[in-house]
Chain A
Amino acid sequence: MRRYAAPILLALFLALAAPIPSAPAIGPGEALKDAKLEDRARDIGRQLRCLVCQNQSIDDSDAPLARDLRRLVRKRLTAGDDDRQVIAYIHARYGDFVLLRPPVDERTWLLWFGPALALLVALAFLLWRLRRPRPAAPADSLSPEAAARADALLGDRGDEP
């Protein structure tokens, strides 16, 4: 079991990094006829910020600018751009602010890798602490009456899950 745990978990992580779809504010008649292309357009739309809205993607918003950008995305896709090129096209015109997935560069290293680093450091620290041989139980710092009080209170602490 343990031997397979790592690859399985890795696979789980990769799967979840995929965007999870949400409901959009796309209007009637906007969708492309080609369902595959439209699916791609929706995925791209969810990664672009509606710049004049507050925390909405262009896929979520009713704002006119969001509609224009949705149309631009579809125009580029119909012209044959791949997803990356479409996003780069809009990125070039609207700047980093339009990207809901911030670019990985020296400014965002901490953002992207900070939590993972913190997790690794904490894990390493914990394993080091738990593996380290320690002398028998440390001396109790409680006064006798405090210990008695704690014991009285915690008399039944063994039977909880």
Chain B
Amino acid sequence: MSAEIGHFALIVAAVLALGQSVFPMAGAVRRHGALMALGGTLATGQFVFVAIAFGALTWAFVTSDFSVANVVQNSHSAKPLLYKITGVWGNHEGSMVLWCLILSLFGACVGWFGGNVAPGLRARVIAVQGMIGLAFLAFVLLTSNPFDRVNPMPPDGRGLNPILQDPGLAFHPPLLYLGYVGFSVTFAFAVAALLEGGVDAAWGRWVRPWALAAWSFLTLGIALGSWWAYYELGWGGFWFWDPVENASFMPWLVGTALLHSAIVAEKRDALKSWSILLAILTFSLSLLGTFLVRSGVLTSVHTFATDPERGLFILAILAVTIGGALVFYAWRAPALKGGGLFRPVSREGALIVNNLLMTVAALTVLFGTLYPLIVDALGLGKISVGPPYFNATFVPLMAPLILAMGIAPFLPWKRADLAGALDRLKLIVAVTIGAAAVVVFLEDRYSFAAALGIGLAVWAIGASAFELASRVRLFRAPFGESLRRTAAMPRSAWGMTLAHAAAGVVVAGITASSVWQTEIVRVMEPGDRADVAGYTVAFAGVQEVRVGNYLARRGRFTVSEGGAAVATLSPEKRIYLPQRTPTTEAAIRTTWFADLYIVLGDPHGEGGHAVRLYHNPLVPWIWIGAVLMFLGGMISLTDRRHRVGAPRRSVRPAPPQPAEA
């Protein structure tokens, strides 16, 4: 019965989405208050019904209702409850329902928290959200219905792909979708503004919190995916420039640009049409990611739907959504008036540098991802675009970006003095150069790349710390005043400083773990010892165990440091039973500054096993940094100026903004 309820709820949601895309729009055009107000109600309704459908599907998974085809294909009665639930989105149909759920949630949120957005604009935003919702609900209902029944009912299901039975990958899609889909709101704001024909500085103010929320979740989602790849794929890498990874990275890059250009749009009334374009592009790239993953155009480890019909449907959604938005852009954007003027060297200039480099970086990733397809489609042969291309083109864009990131907070708006800013930062410049020099003398092989990476990391963290210190006048004012200034610092400033420093933390992690990794690959017999980066790892042997729905060969390694045992590690080779799929589970001991990473390989001879031991310095910093970025975004989001739902009552007169010749 639950399947029918779910299916019916989806149909109701689609009908509500249709209403949501028509009535508020009509109301906005005719300036009809009641029609406009209907938008919020319909958006809430759509969310409620998609939630019912999602709940029904979850119920079918939890109760192992094998009369539902989707449950048969993706679940098994012996699976742990957690993975029965996460199995809901561990397949194509279910993940699209999750997409719709999050989309309708964001649409409803605009209604709930958009109280201070001008009614006309809000109605149009909600209508655009309704159109996107309608398109995706139609996609689910017409090509990917998760509620199809099977007859006769099989005794048990085929089980979830074991690779997805993992906490990291289980929660990767919801976070990623919160990011992807969150950018639908900024997209809707952009289209609504184009429809209305005017963008004022308040537009930037309204867009920023949504962009910030989406960006924060996307950051966390990408980091979780990368962490999963690190501990699950079993060779210690964390980023592979895999097309599916790239698909999530492109919206992040352009979304980061949007986050920064919206500041200029708000504060200085400039870069407005550019911000609108970025808002359109960010969500377009989110859709493109969905298309690439869902259509099976890219065959990759993560993809689980390969179906050209679905691909064509999503392509049609893409064409209408993005194409439509860009048509409006071409038509209406030229009329948008640029605002505050500024010099190339200024806060605005630095934010433009960010925008430029982030956008070109996204372009590089886009080219690298799509180029093999284009060359193939044109019949020019088969080419591969792999990590060597991305390292050669992407990384050089990041270096000046991080340099600019350190200086930007020291540049005033409109016109700045670069030499003066560098002079203020001379301590950090010296520390950075010193750190890079030390690395050059330490290392021989990748010394240049290592020195650059570590230098950039020190620069980003140092400049952020210095920015914080100078903001509170640390050591320059009495300590009490610094404390008072610290307490009074706006949360958005905390957020920015934290996120910028976090970027340095990530760069340090990437550089150190890439350059100073130690690797030992050998056959170990029980009793053998290996020395890795100051640790002694002793192999105690392998035992066969059966846990829940898998069999495992579990190795036992005791790790000692300076003669004292510090840990016991148990890497596994698992065979998941319903499908007999093997997986590798690395065992990791982390000190937060480095990971000891052990992978158990195949048996070799009598009792011996191939074993891979890695020591990855600073690798945890990659994910610590990503979490800090997320926290930075969240702290910034709690800034009173970002709380869209609660406008300030007391208003100070706006400072005059003299135009500059």
A and B touch in the complex (CB under 8 A): yes
Chain A positions near chain B (C-beta within 8 angstroms): 1-2, 9, 12-31, 39, 46-47, 49, 54-57, 60, 95-103, 107-108, 110-112, 114-116, 118-119, 122-123, 126-127, 130-131, 133-134, 136-142, 146-147, 149-161
Chain B residues whose CB sits within 8 angstroms of the CB of A13 once the complex forms: 396, 399
B376-406 interface with A by 8 A CB criterion:
380-389, 391-393, 395-397, 399-400
Q: How far is the CA of A99 from the CA of B655 in the complex (A)?
A: 59
Chain B residues whose CB sits within 8 angstroms of the CB of A16 once the complex forms: 391-392, 395-396, 399, 449, 452
User: Does B385 contact A134, Cβ atoms closer than 8 Å?
Assistant: no
Contact indicator per residue, chain B 607-627, by CB within 8 Å of chain A (1) or not (0): 000101010100000000000
Q: How far is the CA of A9 from the CA of B382 in the complex (A)?
A: 34
Chain B residues whose CB sits within 8 angstroms of the CB of A133 once the complex forms: 661
User: Does B419 contact A1, Cβ atoms closer than 8 Å?
Assistant: yes
User: Could you tell me the distance in whole angstroms from the C-beta of B340 to the nearest C-beta in chain A?
Assistant: 8
> Taking the complex as formed, is B93 at the interface, i.e. its CB lies under 8 A from any CB of chain A?
no
User: Does A149 contact B118, Cβ atoms closer than 8 Å?
Assistant: yes
User: Does B381 contact A153, Cβ atoms closer than 8 Å?
Assistant: no
Given A55-B300, A115-B360, verify A46-B341 contact (CB < 8 Å): no
Closest chain A residue, CB of each to CB of B363: A115
Closest chain B residue, CB of each to CB of A59: B235
Chain B positions near chain A (C-beta within 8 angstroms): 116, 118, 198, 200-202, 205, 234-237, 240-243, 263, 266-267, 299-301, 336-344, 349, 352, 356-357, 359-360, 363-364, 367-368, 371, 375, 380-389, 391-393, 395-397, 399-400, 409, 418-419, 422, 445-446, 448-449, 451-452, 490, 492-493, 496, 514-515, 517, 519, 521-523, 601, 604, 610, 612, 614, 616, 641, 647-648, 651-655, 659, 661
Chain A residues whose CB sits within 8 angstroms of the CB of B654 once the complex forms: 151, 154-155, 157
Chain A residues whose CB sits within 8 angstroms of the CB of B452 once the complex forms: 12, 15-16
Chain B residues whose CB sits within 8 angstroms of the CB of A30 once the complex forms: 521
Q: How far is the CA of A28 from the CA of B604 in the complex (A)?
A: 10
User: Does B449 contact A15, Cβ atoms closer than 8 Å?
Assistant: yes
Contact of B517 among A21, A146, A154 (CB under 8 A): A21
A-B contact count (CB 8 A): 237
17 sampled A-B residue pairs with Cβ under 8 A: A15-B448, A17-B396, A19-B391, A20-B395, A21-B517, A55-B300, A56-B240, A100-B384, A114-B367, A115-B363, A115-B364, A126-B344, A137-B341, A151-B654, A153-B205, A154-B201, A161-B493
Chief secondary structure at chain A's binding surface: loop
User: Does B386 contact A154, Cβ atoms closer than 8 Å?
Assistant: no
Closest chain A residue, CB of each to CB of B345: A130
Q: How far is the CA of A12 from the CA of B400 in the complex (A)?
A: 9
Q: How far is the CA of A29 from the CA of B384 in the complex (A)?
A: 29
User: Does B240 contact A55, Cβ atoms closer than 8 Å?
Assistant: yes
Closest chain A residue, CB of each to CB of B352: A126
Chain B residues whose CB sits within 8 angstroms of the CB of A138 once the complex forms: 337-339
Chain B residues whose CB sits within 8 angstroms of the CB of A122 once the complex forms: 356, 359-360
Q: How far is the CA of A147 from the CA of B203 in the complex (A)?
A: 12
User: Does A28 contact B400, Cβ atoms closer than 8 Å?
Assistant: no
Q: How far is the CA of A134 from the CA of B446 in the complex (A)?
A: 49
Chain B residues whose CB sits within 8 angstroms of the CB of A155 once the complex forms: 648, 651-654
Q: How far is the CA of A134 from the CA of B339 in the complex (A)?
A: 12
User: Does A100 contact B367, Cβ atoms closer than 8 Å?
Assistant: no
Chain B residues whose CB sits within 8 angstroms of the CB of A141 once the complex forms: 198, 336-337
Given A55-B301, A60-B235, A100-B385, verify A20-B391 contact (CB < 8 Å): yes
User: Does A150 contact B200, Cβ atoms closer than 8 Å?
Assistant: yes
Q: How far is the CA of A55 from the CA of B340 in the complex (A)?
A: 47
Closest chain B residue, CB of each to CB of A111: B371
Chain B residues whose CB sits within 8 angstroms of the CB of A126 once the complex forms: 344, 352, 356
Given A1-B422, A24-B235, verify A147-B514 contact (CB < 8 Å): no
